């Protein structure tokens, strides 16, 4: 009896699926909104929106390991454009030609 046959017929306490193909993690399928799509109210990883829908997808996935819902990013600027480096050069910095290189040596 081969190992796969033994696993699929007798099972193992070390395997949640006993050698069978596991279910697909719903968070890896196209169209789920755990990752930002640019739509503010449908981007959990960006700002925590639609937490109930993402929580339900996390609950569907069973791999034998506790998979807590990751926290959304704290880097979101809520649609505000960050300041541009060229408008905020280091004190005493200058541009050298068109290469956008700033030097603190002026």
- pLDDT tens by residue, 69-100: 778 877 766 667 777 777 776 776 666 655 55
CB-CB contact of 45 with 73 (8 Å): yes
d(CA 67, CA 27): 12
Range of the structural domain that residue 76 is part of: 1-80
Tell me how many domains the chain contains: 1
* Domain annotation covers residue 91: no
- Is residue 96 a part of any domain in this protein? no
Between 46 and 9, whose confidence is greater?
9
> Is residue 7 one of the residues assigned to a domain?
yes
Residue 15 lies in a domain: yes
> pTM value?
0.47
* pLDDT per residue as tens digits for the range 30-68: 777 777 666 767 777 777 778 888 888 877 777 777 777
pLDDT at 79: 66
Determine the pLDDT at residue 101. Answer: 56
In a domain, 35, yes or no: yes
pLDDT of residue 78: 67
Q: Cα 52 from chain centroid?
A: 17
């Amino acid at each position: 009896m081969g190992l796969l046959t033994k696993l699929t017929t007798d099972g193992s306490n070390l395997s949640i699926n006993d050698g069978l193909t596991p279910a697909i993690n719903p968070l890896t399928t196209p169209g789920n909104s755990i990752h930002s799509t640019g739509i503010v109210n449908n981007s959990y990883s960006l700002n925590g929106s639609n937490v109930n829908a993402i929580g339900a997808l996390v609950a569907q996935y069973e791999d034998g390991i506790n998979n807590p819902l990751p926290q959304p990013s704290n880097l979101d600027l809520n649609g505000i454009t960050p300041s541009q480096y060229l408008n905020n050069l280091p004190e005493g910095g200058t541009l050298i030609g068109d290469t956008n290189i700033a030097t603190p040596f002026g």
